[in-house]
Amino acid sequence: MTPFLKKLNAVKEVDHVVSGHALIRSYPGCKKQALHTDYFSMLPHARVRGVSMPYSCLVALESGSYVYLNDSKMILPKGSAVVFRGDVVHSGAEYSADNIRYHLYIDVRDKHVASEGTHVHWV
């Protein structure tokens, strides 16, 4: 993960900061998450004017990883990563076997912080 984080740090904007990190484990038989955005203060697909956009990142640590982006299921091969805007509606997938992914937040310093909460769209 260190080479990935170093590369991410090298390409991110100056006002971005990699903040929260989490290992997410899904157990066999778990269901799909509710649709949500990772940044509570943002409305889905809102226009951004004069401020940087926060991002979320998901890294597949095992084969058989998935994520739903705007309700479309995306396959994540082992070792791949997807980086998406903080206002993208997404959800974790259902799993029939154990699966572990690495999730991190790329906040905008002093503007958008994922720790302020998650906006959940119940379905």
7, containing H or E segment: helix 2-11
78 burial type by CB count under 10 A (0-12 exposed, 13-18 middle, 19+ buried): exposed
E-assigned strands of 14-121?
Answer: 16-26, 35-37, 55-60, 65-69, 72-76, 81-85, 90-92, 99-108, 119-121
Q: What is the pLDDT of residues 15-60, one digit of tens each?
A: 888 888 888 999 999 999 988 888 765 555 555 555 678 889 999 9
120 band by pLDDT with thresholds 50, 70 and 90: very low
Find out whether 37 and 123 touch, Cβ atoms under 8 Å.
no
Q: How confident is the model at residue 60, as a pLDDT?
A: 95
Q: What is the pLDDT of residues 48-78, one digit of tens each?
A: 555 678 889 999 999 999 999 988 999 999 9
For 8-18, b/e burial (b = at least 16 CB within 10 A) is beeeeeeebbe
Q: How confident is the model at residue 46, as a pLDDT?
A: 55
